[in-house]
Amino acid sequence: MTLLGAFLKGEIPPFLRRRAIRRLVRLTAVAFGSPPPEVGGMNAGAMLQAYAYFTRDEVRRLDHDAARIAAVQRRLYGLSSAWASWYRRVLGISHWEAAAAVCRKFYGMIGIDIESTPRGEITFRSCFFSRFYTRETCEVVSALDGGMIAGLAGEGDLTFTSRITEGAPCCRACFRHRRPER
């Protein structure tokens, strides 16, 4: 069995889930240029709640400043893409279906249930963070999603067409690979 197969088949131990959440907290704090919230000693649910409040408050601090928001989104995308690219290499992900399966596993660790189609259509059926986020917070923080999926699947763009935080029953997005320039 390949490492990818073992990863997809096995359960994520709680200590690895907490480690992944701590990494997410740290890279998000770096993107915002703020110290991370203290999550040591918390269970995964409490860590996710602290993260939700942290990101919500950090987006509020951006005070609708378009330039600052764009800069944070670029950093969120870049940092999460780099993190996910490491997993792409280590797990040997070479096609969309494998990337989508790993995404489903990762997102499950943070309370987000996703499904995808071979054409790159993604449905976020439920999201832990939708209870905490406004539309604006979701729009800023979803740059993490774009980076994570691009890192796992190869460079591309994630475009949302609906969001739970805008009153939709689920979030819908589409990932499109970037074509190399000739």
| pLDDT for position 14 | 85
What kind and span of H or E run contains 173? strand 171-177
| pLDDT for position 82 | 96
Q: What is the pLDDT of residues 41-75, one digit of tens each?
A: 999 999 999 999 999 999 999 999 999 999 999 99
3-state helix, strand, coil in the chain (%, to 5): 60, 15, 25
Instruction: Please indicate, yes or no, whether the overall pTM of this predicted structure exceeds 0.75.
Output: yes
Q: What is the pLDDT of residues 90-134, one digit of tens each?
A: 889 988 999 999 999 999 999 999 999 999 999 999 999 999 999
Smallest CA-to-CA distance from 97 within 168, 24, 8 is with 8
Q: Please check whether residue 68 is in contact with residue 86, taking contact to mean a CB–CB distance below 8 angstroms.
A: no
| pLDDT for position 155 | 82
Q: How many CA atoms lie within 13 A of 171 on its CB side?
A: 24
Domains of the chain, each with CATH number or no CATH: 3-177 (3.30.1380)
